[in-house]
């Protein structure tokens, strides 16, 4: 490999542009011997004759010099980009964030987060994946993810840390025309005899069963699904009622039906959504602005 330096290329280009060593040294702010030595060294390394020395008339590029100038310009341009990237990396304006999100939370927030942060920090690349709760935990601990948006259900503070994004109270959904549909608030005990559509994702099912047990209810499970939208479609089609935490912007379901959302009278433990990270790695200057951005997004949801 020919070991030429960026400085040699910079000095060569300055001489080519100005037509002489004296004017190039003035433009560069360096001594004439330094420029002359760089050109001599560059010609010796490359084996090229780069200039014709015109006595009292400066220096003129040879055919080899003109060809080499193209590549010197490319090299200096690339070096400029690298320098800029290094500065942005050092200032945490460039880098990659590996983000995981729990599958049932993702439709509510993930696209908004990605779009918004690309606009705010275009130099930051987001590598996004959707996973289940246990998969997210394993990926965080295995250093496969930097951050994970998930429920705080079942998290071990001895293994990871997290910051809260939202604390949504659970609510009831019933089909239009249901006997409770015209009410604003209902008691959870009023659905004890109803067919219940269970959101059957890991950790979530335990959360809902704990609520029923606390109020002495044994729900009659009519249907189970790991998809929130399947639960909503089932309720919209009159197959039962359900309790959820995440609330879509519209009451319309995927299949064109509707659900009616009702507040619950009981003070039930909210489902907390958090952004989690490894126990021994508190978010630094690259991740911390992103964590704050996610908090702002969930405030607006």
60-95 residue pLDDT tens: 899 999 999 999 999 988 887 787 767 655 545 678
Cβ-in-10-Å burial (0-12, 13-18, 19+) of 205 comes to middle
| Of 53-62, 72-81, 237-246, the least confident | 53-62
Rounded Cα distance between 113 and 295, Å, is: 10
User: What average pLDDT score do residues 101-119 get?
Assistant: 94
| Of 175-179, 205-209, 282-286, the least confident | 282-286
Identical topology for domains 6-90 and 170-269: no
Q: How confident is the model at residue 173 (pLDDT cuts 50, 70, 90)?
A: very high
Mean pLDDT of the chain: 90
CATH architecture, domain defined by 95-167+272-300? 3-Layer(aba) Sandwich (3.40)
| Of 74-88, 190-204, 218-232, the least confident | 74-88
> Is the domain 170-269 a CATH 3.40.190.10 member?
yes
User: What is the 3-class SS of the chain, one letter each residue?
Assistant: CCCCCHHHHHHHHHHHHHCCHHHHHHHHCCCHHHHHHHHHHHHHHHCCCCEEEECCCEEEECHHHHHHHHHHHHHHHHHHHHHHHHHHHHCCCCEEEEEEEECCCHHHHHHHHHHHHHHHCCCEEEEEEEECHHHHHHHHHCCCCCEEEEECCCCCCCCEEEEEEEEECCEEEECCCCCCCCCCEECHHHHCCCEEEEECCCCHHHHHHHHHHHCCCCCEEEEEECCHHHHHHHHHCCCCEEEECCCCCCCECCCCCECEEEEECCCCCCEEEEEEEECCCCCCCCCHHHHHHHHHHHHHC
- Annotated domain spans of the chain: 6-90, 95-167+272-300, 170-269
Rounded Cα distance between 230 and 94, Å, is: 39
- Return the pLDDT at 144: 94
**pTM of this prediction exceeds 0.75:** no
pLDDT higher than threshold 60 for residue 240: yes
Class of domain 6-90: mainly alpha
Q: What is the pLDDT of residues 126-168, one digit of tens each?
A: 999 999 888 999 999 999 999 999 999 888 888 899 999 999 8
Q: How confident is the model at residue 58 (pLDDT cuts 50, 70, 90)?
A: confident
């Amino acid at each position: 490999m020919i070991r030429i330096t960026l400085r040699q290329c910079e000095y060569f280009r300055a001489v080519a542009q100005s037509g002489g060593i004296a004017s190039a040294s003035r433009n560069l702010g360096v001594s004439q011997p330094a420029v002359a030595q760089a050109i001599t060294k560059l010609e010796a390394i490359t084996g090229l004759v780069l200039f014709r020395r015109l006595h009292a008339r400066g220096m003129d590029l040879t055919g080899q010099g003109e060809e080499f100038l193209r590549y010197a310009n490319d090299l200096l341009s690339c070096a400029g980009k690298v320098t800029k990237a290094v500065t942005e990396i050092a200032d945490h304006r460039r880098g990659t964030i590996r983000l995981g999100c729990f599958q049932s939370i993702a439709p509510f927030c993930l696209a908004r987060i990605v779009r918004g942060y690309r606009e705010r920090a275009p130099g930051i690349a987001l590598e996004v994946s959707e996973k289940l709760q246990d998969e997210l935990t394993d990926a965080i601990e295995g250093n496969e993810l930097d951050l994970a948006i998930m429920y705080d259900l079942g998290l071990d503070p001895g293994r990871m840390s997290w910051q809260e994004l939202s604390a949504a109270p659970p609510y009831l959904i019933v089909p239009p025309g249901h006997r409770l549909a015209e009410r604003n608030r209902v008691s959870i005990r009023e659905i004890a005899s109803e067919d219940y559509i269970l959101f059957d994702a890991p950790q979530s099912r335990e959360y809902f069963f704990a609520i029923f047990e606390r109020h002495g209810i044994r729900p009659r499970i009519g249907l189970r699904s790991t998809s929130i939208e399947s639960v909503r479609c089932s309720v919209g089609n009159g197959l039962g009622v359900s309790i959820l935490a995440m609330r879509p912007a519209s009451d319309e379901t995927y299949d064109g039906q509707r659900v009616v959302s009702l507040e619950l009278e009981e003070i039930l433990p909210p489902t907390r959504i958090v952004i989690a990270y490894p126990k021994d790695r508190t978010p630094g200057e690259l991740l911390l602005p992103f964590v704050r951005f996610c908090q702002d997004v969930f405030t607006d949801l």
